[in-house]
Structure 1
Amino acid sequence: MVAPARRALGGWVWLPLLLCVWPFLLLLGLYPMARSARQLARRVFVAPGPRGISDPVVLRVQRIRGWLALAAGFTVLAVYGSPGDWSEANDQWELRLVITPWLVLVTAPAVVGVLFRLAGPAARPAMRAQVRPAVLMALRYVGACTAVPVLLFLAQKVQGSVQVLFVGQLVDILMLAVPIWALMFVAFASPTVVRTAFTMDRVHAVFPPVLTGVLVWELALIGLAIGGLPPGPPAVQLCSIVGGPATVTAVAWWEVHRLRTRFGVSLRGRAAGGSGR
């Protein structure tokens, strides 16, 4: 008589434990989801063909400039900022993460069009050959970004139709897992998309620095229009607004200068299709 009672008690104990532990199990399941999303993003958004010219000196200067800009922004906020300014800075950072890939999608064709106009007739066939992979990557990225809100909408519809307590929670987990995975996929694909501008860096070696010089001013104007002026006196505000984009542009055009003097590639030169250095 005792053994069946123990089995019945054990069954009733496990059910509330499962209901309490499932959030932890959900967090535990995020790791394999993130890993699979990262692996697929690397396969889908692989940069085909030979890499463009890589200059270690320029990369080092870019990293130093980035750390100095981060330190300068932190110093301005620490000296002149209020709690609201810190929150605004965080919002600006999140905005840049979201909007940068879309700015690349809009700005890259315009930059490529200018480079096509500047390039000589002999360079244009090789440049055109690299445009098609870039367009395909852009379409895949737009499709992935569009899938996230669509999947969230479908998940909400399914969740609203399931009202049973335990079954409803399981359905919520399963339905939310799909858009969360899609969001992870987009997050892991975005660095490649932004870094290569949908592999447009294969079209012409000077494309990355030229695009960077344009994007930084677009982001600065958008940040100023949405977030307003940074904290501090007028001189500090002016340096905060202009200093970052100006230094990025200076480094970008210094990179263009090095491409011309050290690698023989100019704005009118042929697209970089050889081996990286």
Structure 2
Amino acid sequence: MTTSTNQPPRRRRHGCATALLAPFVAAARFQRPGRQDRLTDPAISGAQVARTCIGLGATVWLFFAYTLRREAGGVINDKLVEMLIAAAVLMAVGPLVVGAFVCSARPPLRSRYRRRLPGPLTAFGVLFGAAALLVFSFRGSLNGPFIAGGGVAGSLLSLLTGMASLFLLPFVLASSVLSVHHSFRTADVHEVLPPLLSPVVVTVMSALQALDGPPVNAPQSVWLLFLAGAPLSVTALSFWELSRLRTRYGITLRGALGR
């Protein structure tokens, strides 16, 4: 007598793919907003994705249309540094804006927003800690005394820092991109905060790019248009987000502060 069991087929686990994706999955886990009752608007999310795609498309066009001023490796390094700087700008400006927002809110909203702070604080802390560990593993002037004079313990520390850097490098890069995109999970505190923060970060980044100069041999008019396009488009999108929150959902900055 044979019996049949209707069990679902087991999915095959691909250990290598899981290991490669682990830093990106972890970055998304820490940097995406997680408040359950947070308002999500498909139109706003779609506009943000479209803006990102247009920005990437304009960057790709700029690099393919004009010749590079230096080696490709140096340009790529500059772009990676720019992502880290954008995250650093958010780490500096974000707490000031969020702190001013919470302190300006009237009771009982103030206490409600304080209870929502663990989300942004987690995003800040994880990226800062991971970046610090990555710098420690890469800078010989920092970890050299521990490794050189530690004997077996130093060799073990060297091995551990090398293995950790394989995870930390993609994790920090992915977290930097996602932290800027999600404005360090400030939507967990309130939905009006991301559109208030985004123009500040993009404007600072455009100013830094203007000081650094163009990476390609493009005409000055094209480069200025490229620099102005990012802050203008992000600011326009932020105004549209705030307007949509007001007209469709009745969410305003004054209402969020209880005033």
User: TM-score of the superposition, structure 2-length normalised?
Assistant: 0.72
The reply on whether 1:233 has 2:216 as its aligned counterpart is no
Match of 2:127 in 1: 141
Match of 2:246 in 1: 260
Match of 1:58 in 2: 44
Distance 1:120 1:68 in 2: 39
Distance 1:73 1:267 in 2: 33
- Deviations along 1:122-170, one digit per CA (max 9) or x if unpaired, are 532222221244224422331221112223447756776799xxxxx99
Q: Contact 1:131–1:203 at 8 Å: present in 2 too?
A: yes
Match of 1:84 in 2: 69
RMSD, aligned α-carbons: 3.7
Structure 1 114/98 Cα, relative in aligned 2: closer, same or farther at 3 Å?
same
**Match of 1:225, SS?**
helix
| Counterpart AA for 2:124 | A
Deviates more, 1:68-77 or 1:105-114: 68-77
Match of 1:126 in 2: 112
Q: Unaligned stretches of 5+ in structure 2?
A: 1-14
Structure 1 114/229 Cα, relative in aligned 2: closer, same or farther at 3 Å?
farther
Distance 1:264 1:203 in 2: 17
The reply on whether 1:107 has 2:122 as its aligned counterpart is no
1:98 CA displacement: 1.8
Distance 1:40 1:247 in 2: 30
Structure 1 253/144 Cα, relative in aligned 2: closer, same or farther at 3 Å?
same
1:91 CA displacement: 4.2
Task: Spell out the pairing of 1:266-277 with structure 2 (5 A cutoff).
Answer: 266-270=252-256
Distance 1:244 1:225 in 2: 16
Q: Contact 1:123–1:269 at 8 Å: present in 2 too?
A: no
Distance 1:103 1:53 in 2: 26
Structure 1 249/125 Cα, relative in aligned 2: closer, same or farther at 3 Å?
same
Distance 2:174 2:51 in 1: 24
Match of 1:274 in 2: none
1:221 CA displacement: 0.8
Q: Unaligned stretches of 5+ in structure 1?
A: 1-28, 164-168, 272-277
Deviates more, 1:223-232 or 1:125-134: 223-232
| Counterpart AA for 1:270 | A
Q: How many residues align?
A: 238
| Counterpart AA for 1:63 | V
1:216 CA displacement: 0.6
Q: Contact 2:68–2:216 at 8 Å: present in 1 too?
A: no
1:249 CA displacement: 0.9
Structure 1 43/231 Cα, relative in aligned 2: closer, same or farther at 3 Å?
closer
Distance 1:171 1:205 in 2: 43
Q: Contact 1:41–1:188 at 8 Å: present in 2 too?
A: yes
Distance 2:80 2:242 in 1: 30
Structure 1 231/254 Cα, relative in aligned 2: closer, same or farther at 3 Å?
farther
Q: Which has the larger radius of gyration?
A: 1
| Counterpart AA for 1:236 | V
User: TM-score of the superposition, structure 1-length normalised?
Assistant: 0.68
Q: Contact 2:183–2:198 at 8 Å: present in 1 too?
A: no
Match of 1:249 in 2: 235
Percent of pairs identical after alignment?
A: 24
Distance 2:203 2:183 in 1: 17
1:196 CA displacement: 3.4
